[in-house]
């Protein structure tokens, strides 16, 4: 019974490789069915995002498990095995557990502290659970990982500060307006960065979008995406009076918005605050506009400065998060160790012995006239009964230990006998040999006289 993760990510493989090994939602069930059909693989979860593809499995043998995982990815996606192996990484045992917990807590993400990964891990686990590809260990592992991720987000500030240019712009806009609900944004240009910034603004409350672009058709396409309005590039300054937030990113070699333009706009707006985000290089907006009353203007360097400051704050939070993760890994590892046959048998024997001694002691107090020989006989008799009752379950448990699904029997036994997590040392002597009992010593005999 071994936990193994095999994968590749933005750290180990270029995008042209990552895009060849993705597992879209519609093929996950089929892929999991094929994967768990390998003799060495007992449980499996496939995590597939734009930045990583990782497969978590429970395998009966580490080497065979790794070999089957490599073969599965190679065969399923039609990639030459030798080429694939250059990019794959493996983790096993406690390192695999730690890796999943760090991934779920966004400590291994391209953007430290990003919020999407926890939902992606949950979706991956849900898909595997519905496909009946998980059982005792991965069910507990992934639920515990999600708990660890939740603790990191609630007990640290790892996700509090904006660490992308587009989202930093939104955070600055919130400082100007407190809330973006009901605000209007104007987009000057139609590039990827301006579109991403607009998406964040709309997600945070902006409800009206005005779009202008030198190519009017492109402005219409982008405006339709936000149910907005496209306006001719030649007239955009006239429409700016209706905008609370202006995002500009064109390829113009000079300023397209000057101080004189904004002076007129602010007069028509009766000096209501306006917020400019100039993402263009060279800049589109004359920085002198920031000297006007209630005009707030930021360029790409301003946004980068905010991002770098926030990244440092997230790194500080990450140090605290690592401690949370390590504690949760220790908790899970303790539970996992309890699934081993030897400590489970030892605990079962100990619990049975404790019951035997307690019951024998209670009844011997009602029989004060028994001789030492009688007490020793009763002690041996009850010990023999306990050993004979436990003999077959213990033998069967040891037989199951090397089976593919052996840990399921251990888990069932622990549940039926209400065995708590803990460590025990199995007595390797004959199963008829009992633990030394204080009942057999002279002090107990004297107490019952």
**Is 271 in the same domain as 399?**
no
The edge-to-edge listing of strands for the beta sheet with 245-248 is: 229-232, 208-213, 184-188, 245-248, 274-278, 295-299
Which CATH number fits the domain that encloses residue 252?
3.40.50.720
92 close to 4: Cβ distance less than 8 angstroms:
yes
**Is 252 in the same domain as 275?**
yes
Would residue 316 count as lying in a domain? Answer: no
307-342: string of b/e by CB count within 10 Å (b at 16+)?
A: beebeeebeebbeebbebbeebbeebeeebebbbbe
**Is 250 in the same domain as 231?**
yes
Q: What is the pLDDT of residue 431?
A: 37
| Helix ranges restricted to H, 178-214 | 192-203
Location of structure tokens 């094929």 = 34
**Is 11 in the same domain as 147?**
yes
CA distance linking residue 54 with residue 141, whole number of Å: 15
**Is 53 in the same domain as 75?**
yes
Taking the C-alpha atoms of 102, 104, 106 and 111 in order, what is their torsion angle to the nearest 10 degrees?
120
Give average pLDDT by consecutive 10-residue segment, the chain, 449 residues: 92 90 94 96 94 94 95 96 96 96 92 86 96 93 95 88 75 88 94 85 93 94 94 96 95 93 96 94 93 94 82 88 95 77 78 90 88 90 90 78 64 79 44 41 47
**Is 201 in the same domain as 225?**
yes
CA distance linking residue 253 with residue 350, whole number of Å: 82
**Is 196 in the same domain as 122?**
no
Would residue 34 count as lying in a domain? Answer: yes
Domain boundary among 306, 329, 355: 306
**Is 298 in the same domain as 353?**
no
**Is 40 in the same domain as 184?**
no
CA distance linking residue 316 with residue 158, whole number of Å: 8
Q: What is the pLDDT of residue 211?
A: 96
159 close to 106: Cβ distance less than 8 angstroms:
yes
Would residue 322 count as lying in a domain? Answer: no
| Number of independent structural domains in the chain | 3
Domain boundary among 155, 189, 220: 155
Q: What is the pLDDT of residue 448?
A: 45
From 27, 50, 115, 381, the catalytic residue: 50
25 φ, ψ (degrees, to nearest 5):
-55, -40
CA distances (Å), origin 60, targets 11, 35, 250, 290, 332? 29, 14, 58, 66, 19
> The whole model's pTM is what?
0.61
**Containing H/E element for 277?**
strand 274-278
Q: What is the pLDDT of residue 184?
A: 97
Q: In terms of residue numbers, what domain contains 349?
A: 338-447
CA distances (Å), origin 272, targets 55, 235, 242? 54, 21, 10
- Please name which of 416, 443, 410 lies closest in space to residue 344, comparing C-alpha atoms: 410
Establish whether 50 is a catalytic residue: yes
**Is 150 in the same domain as 236?**
no
């Amino acid at each position: 019974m071994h936990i193994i993760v095999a994968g590749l990510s933005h750290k180990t493989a270029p995008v042209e490789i990552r895009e060849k090994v993705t597992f879209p939602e519609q093929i996950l069930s089929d892929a999991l069915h094929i994967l768990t059909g390998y003799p060495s693989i007992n449980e499996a979860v496939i995590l597939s995002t734009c930045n990583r593809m990782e497969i978590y499995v429970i395998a009966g043998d580490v080497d065979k498990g790794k070999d089957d995982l490599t073969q599965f990815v190679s065969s399923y996606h039609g990639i030459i095995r030798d080429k694939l192996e250059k990019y794959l990484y493996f983790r096993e045992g406690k390192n695999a557990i730690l890796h999943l917990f760090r991934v779920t807590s966004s400590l291994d993400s391209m953007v430290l502290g990003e919020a999407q990964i926890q939902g992606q891990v949950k979706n991956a686990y849900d898909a595997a659970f519905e496909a009946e590809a998980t059982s005792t260990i991965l069910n507990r592992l992934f639920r515990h990982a999600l708990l660890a991720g939740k603790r990191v987000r609630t007990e640290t500030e790892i996700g509090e500060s904006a660490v992308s240019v587009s989202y930093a712009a939104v955070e600055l806009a919130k400082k100007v307006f407190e809330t973006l609900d009901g605000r209007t944004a104007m987009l000057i240009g139609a590039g990827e960065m301006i579109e991403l910034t607009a998406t964040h603004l709309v997600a945070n409350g902006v409800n009206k979008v005005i779009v202008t672009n030198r190519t009017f058709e492109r402005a219409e396409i982008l405006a339709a995406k936000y149910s907005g309005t496209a306006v001719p590039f030649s007239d955009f300054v006239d429409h700016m009076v209706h905008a609370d937030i202006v995002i500009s990113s064109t390829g113009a070699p000079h300023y397209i918005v000057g101080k004189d333009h904004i002076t007129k706009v602010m007069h028509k707006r009766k000096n209501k605050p306006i917020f400019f985000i100039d993402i263009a290089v060279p800049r589109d907006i004359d920085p002198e506009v920031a000297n006007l009353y209630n005009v707030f203007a930021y360029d790409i360097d301003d946004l980068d400065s905010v991002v770098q400051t926030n990244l440092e704050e997230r790194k500080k939070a990450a140090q605290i998060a690592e401690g949370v993760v390590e504690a949760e890994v220790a908790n899970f590892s303790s539970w996992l160790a309890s699934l081993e046959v030897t400590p489970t048998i030892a605990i079962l024997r100990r619990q049975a012995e404790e019951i035997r001694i307690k019951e024998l002691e209670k009844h011997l107090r009602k029989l004060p006239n028994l001789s030492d020989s009688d007490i020793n006989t009763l002690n041996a008799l009850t010990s023999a009964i306990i050993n004979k009752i436990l003999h077959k379950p213990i033998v069967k448990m040891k037989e199951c230990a090397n089976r593919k699904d052996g840990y399921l029997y251990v888990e069932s036994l622990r549940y039926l006998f209400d065995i708590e997590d803990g460590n025990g040392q199995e007595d390797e002597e004959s199963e008829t040999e009992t633990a030394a009992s204080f009942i057999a010593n002279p002090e107990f005999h004297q107490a019952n006289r």
